[in-house]
Amino acid sequence: MMTAKQQLRILFVLLLLPGAILAQESGDPEPETPVLVGPARLDLNIRAGDQNQRQTFTKPEAGANITVDVAVTEGAMDRTGFDIVVTYDADQILFQAAEPVDLFEGAYLLPSLEPGRINIAGLLLDSDTDRASGSLAQITFIVLGDLPEASPISLNAALLGSALAIDSIGVGTETSIVRLGGDRPAIEQGNPDFNGDGSVGFTDFVIFAGGFGAAAGNQSYNPALDLDGSGNVGFSDFLIFAQAFGT
Ligand SMILES: [Ca+2]
Ligand SMILES: [Ca+2]
Ligand SMILES: [Ca+2]
């Protein structure tokens, strides 16, 4: 039997469905100044949290699986539910699966699909979140054919709630859209100054750590981090990086 509290939480999620947020916003004109950076993020690195990977390092082929990580950088503490809306080009990719992760590991998911748009509500029945930032869910798509140019996937809205309050978490044009394929700046192999600021420092280490452990063929594999060109980013690359650190 469910407790009254659990019933209340289910009611909360049912109230949010389907996409109550967008219905509310549809009458508004386009925002005058687009927000570039918001705390609700999409990234292509499937580690928990936002690693700022907004584009695939290589062009995905037809049939490839692409997983996007839905993360927030603040506002997630003591929550029991989330509601997100993600849009994509249904001619180019197909929704395959969604799973709750990290902050919402074990949550009950209620996905609702339309062509090119997915609304997912997630609900924790026996606990609440214990951190302010982290990942909510991961969504996997299949690439249908050769991508003619960069194909975007956008996080359009994110709500986080408890039985007491529901808050909208801001999305930003630069931080809530990821792109599959498309042109990227040429990669300079073997240079540990990953952010190109002229020195090898902590920011470069953060970039390196975000891609550590990835191998060629994996969507998180960044060839720029594979300093010895061995096909994966591992300990030998770390040794080369450490040698250059501080220079
Ligand atoms: Ca991530
Ligand atoms: Ca640098
Ligand atoms: Ca390597």
pLDDT of residue 6: 56
Q: Which residue has the tokens 């998180």?
A: 220
Q: Which ligand is nearest the CA of 206, by number?
A: 2
Asked whether 94 and 62 are in contact (CB, 8 A), the reply is: no
**Residue-range domain boundaries for the chain:** 4-180, 185-247
Cα(198) to centroid(ligand 2), Å: 6
Q: Which ligand is nearest the CA of 44, by number?
A: 1
| pLDDT tens figures, 48-79 | 999 999 999 888 889 999 999 999 999 999 99
Q: Which residues surround ligand 1, an ion (CB under 5 A)?
A: 43, 45, 47, 51, 69
Cα(243) to centroid(ligand 2), Å: 14
Cα(41) to centroid(ligand 1), Å: 9
Cα(12) to centroid(ligand 1), Å: 27
Pairing of strands 81-88, 93-100: unpaired
Cα(51) to centroid(ligand 1), Å: 5
The b/e string for 62-101 (b: 16+ C-beta within 10 A; e otherwise) is eebebbbbbbbbebbeebbbbbbbbbbeeebbebeebebb
List all residues 6 or more positions away from 85 whose beta carbon is below 8 Å from its beta carbon. Answer: 19, 21, 22, 117, 118, 119, 155, 156, 157, 158
Domain 185-247 fold: Type 1 dockerin domain (1.10.1330)
Domain 4-180 fold: Immunoglobulin-like (2.60.40)
Average pLDDT over residues 203-208: 93
pLDDT bucket at 14, cuts 50 / 70 / 90: very low
Cα(5) to centroid(ligand 1), Å: 31
pLDDT of residue 7: 54
